[in-house]
Structure 1
Amino acid sequence: MNTQEVKSVSPGITEISVIMLTYNHADYLKQAIEGILAQKTDFNIELIICNDHSPDHSDDVINELAKAYPDIIRYFKHEKNIGFVENQRFAFSKVRGNYIAYCEGDDYWTDENKLQFQFDFLEKNPEYSMVTARNLLLYQNDHKITNDGKEYMFHGKEYIDYTLDTFFRQRPTQTFTYLIRKKWLDEKWIDIYPDYRDLYYFYHLLELGRGRCYNKVIGVYRLHDGGVFSSLENEHKYLTSIGIFTNIKNVNNDGRADEQILKDMDQLINIYYYKKEFKIPVINKKLYSAIYNRFLISKNLKTCLVQLLKIVKYSIHRT
């Protein structure tokens, strides 16, 4: 792999390594990087920026800031595109810190104490594998900001804890909000799972310790046409989630994953296939296939029959 390290931080003990993977984020990078540079900590941090051969002007944006902050920023520019999975593997290999935080080039932090309070918590609570907090959602195309829609999980509490069991029912965080222990991150999972995703190492980190999510906003998650996940069409999004949890189930023989798989299948069938995708649902094989696959997991004949009857209902409604 032909990769150039443009800047290196000064030697010394680094407590937290912040990973920033970026591809075609030039319009958002300055805000993302400045959110990390604004962190107030009583320990050293490093920012590892891995530019996956972006064809836009990302390199100019990063270089300007890397030259201004050579004691913090380590910039790696790949001379050819290696893809998200390999870029993440590369970033993990460069980590020097005891803890890892993550912020993609199109998201940004708004709380200058984000790293300090998360570090303090993990230092005092060795039984926890990660700590996170909440975020806002920025719909870039509409220039609209909303909350994350997860207030129902907190009920006004200062924080909630989550475990491997709750992982399959609700996940209170986005990747860019966490801080995790490096020593518990096993990179072998990148090779074991097909098309590696962050949810896989969340799952395995929760095998080793609980997570805590604070009921406070620390950053903004940007949804736009260029996002890794937010830009996927609805069908692809649901199918991707189904695939992720199916992989978790198969690799680990963990039937708890069925709860999330069935939830995604219901979203795919009831919201997408019935109401949005098919002009005449009764003649579409993908809809029958989705209902059949759901039945194979749930063995719930009643739900299967109800979904089949809805095919007739929505077909008549549209003709």
Structure 2
Amino acid sequence: MNPKVSIIMLTYNHAPYLKQAIEGVLAQKTDFPFELIICNDHSPDNSHEVISEYADKFPDIIKYFNHQKNIGFVENQRFAFTRAQGKYLAYCEGDDYWTDHEKLQFQYDFLETNPDYVMVTARNLLLHQNDNELTDDGKNHIFNNEEYVDFTQDSFFIKRPTQTFTYLIRKAFLDLKWIDIYPNYRDLYYFYHVLEFGKGRSFNKVVGVYRLHDGGVFSSLEIEKKLLTSIDIFKNIKRQNNDNRADKQILKDQDELISKYYYKKEFKNPLINQKLYAAVFDRFSISRDHKTLAMQLVKILKYSLTRQLTL
């Protein structure tokens, strides 16, 4: 019987976590068949042994592909998508795991009865690995105690109440051509394009745990990388689709990036920080807001002088 849902599990060096990830999928209680596609990108750890044990036990569910050389995340993802046979796609990387045994069933039922929706997601907990501490996903303000929130391509640029490993999407709307069009293909690209065809709904219920290997403590340099990546993604979306709505997210990320430079210890003298000036003028190139530009330049000077007097 053909699977109704294909679960994609990409993995590289996830051996300590794979058992929890795989068992979270196998524990799903459904009235429909599903498949678990595990793509191991030539992990040098013992991931192959861990996966093989489960693949041998559950050959009707698990489709295991062990690449003989490392092909990278983007190509591993492309490979996995092309192997999926289900009407719907779910996703769970090898270091995350599902905790709700009815995650697939309630999402499948929702999409089956709501054809105007192209994807459904939910909430998750965060596991700070170094401290072995669970926290919420920081999205309470989005849900505001409501049972669910809907999102569209328009609201995609303002709020995204989801993590990739919580979604179920209609495979028919996943066009793999975007992998070749966008550099360093990310999930945000296909979220954007899938939402061209309908709405999304995110339920205010926890379905899994997203693992933070660094304990959730980011240095300002790591924050810088995260924000620059986001800025680059939304600039690519804007450029490729002539979609100025992306400016909302770009400006938001730039404002956060600039504020991190002001107040993190690594940047002792903003007055001579070229990256800071680049961010300020990049923001101005989009907003054309002369008042904000002037205020930011004055703040750089004022903050730099204050820092020098206190050193």
Q: TM-score range by the shorter chain?
A: over 0.9
Partner residue of 2:195?
206
The AA in structure 2 aligned to 1:113 is E
Question: What is aligned with 1:26?
Answer: 15
Q: 1:165 aligns with which of 154, 162, 175?
A: 154
Say whether the 8 Å CA contact 1:274–1:314 is kept in structure 2.
Answer: no
Structure 2 distance, partners of 1:107, 1:218, is: 11
Match among 133, 148, 160 for residue 144 of structure 1: 133
**Alpha-carbon distance in structure 1 between the residues aligned to 2:304 and 2:90:** 48
* Aligned counterparts of 1:40 and 1:186: Cα–Cα separation in 2: 29
The answer to whether the Cα contact below 8 Å between 2:261 and 2:276 also exists between their aligned partners in 1 is no
Match of 2:168 in 1: 179
Which amino acid in the other structure matches residue 102 of structure 2? Answer: N
Q: Distance in 2 between matches of 1:196 and 1:25?
A: 21
Q: Which amino acid aligns with 2:74?
A: V
The list of structure 1 runs, each at least 4 consecutive aligned residues, that deviate by more than 6 angstroms after superposition, is: none
Q: Is 1:84 equivalent to 2:79 in the alignment?
A: no
Deviations 1:283-314 (A, max 9, x none): 11111111000000001111111111221232
Matched residue type, 2:47: S
Q: What 5-or-longer segments of structure 1 have no aligned partner? A: 1-11
CA gap of 1:144–1:272, structure 2 versus 1, over 3 A, is farther
Q: What displacement does 1:253 show? A: 0.3
Please list the CA deviations of residues 54-113 of structure 1 after superposition, one character each: whole Å capped at 9, or x if unmatched.
011111111111111111101100001000000000001100111000000010000000
Distance in 2 of aligned mates of 1:190 and 1:239? 20
Check if 1:105 corresponds to 2:80.
no
Two-structure CA RMSD over aligned residues (Å): 1.7
Q: Which residue of 2 aligns with 1:155?
A: 144
Structure 2 unmatched ranges of 5 or more: none
Matched, 1:63 2:49: no
Partner of 1:294: 283
Q: 2:106: which partner in 1?
A: 117
Deviation at 1:273, TM superposition (A): 5.0
Q: Is the Cα contact below 8 Å between 2:129 and 2:215 reproduced in 1?
A: no
Distance 1:226 1:184, change over 3 A: farther
Q: How many residues align?
A: 306
What displacement does 1:225 show?
4.3
Percent identity between the aligned chains?
70
Distance in 2 (CA, whole Å) between partners of 1:57 and 1:122 is 37
Letter in 2 for 1:167: F
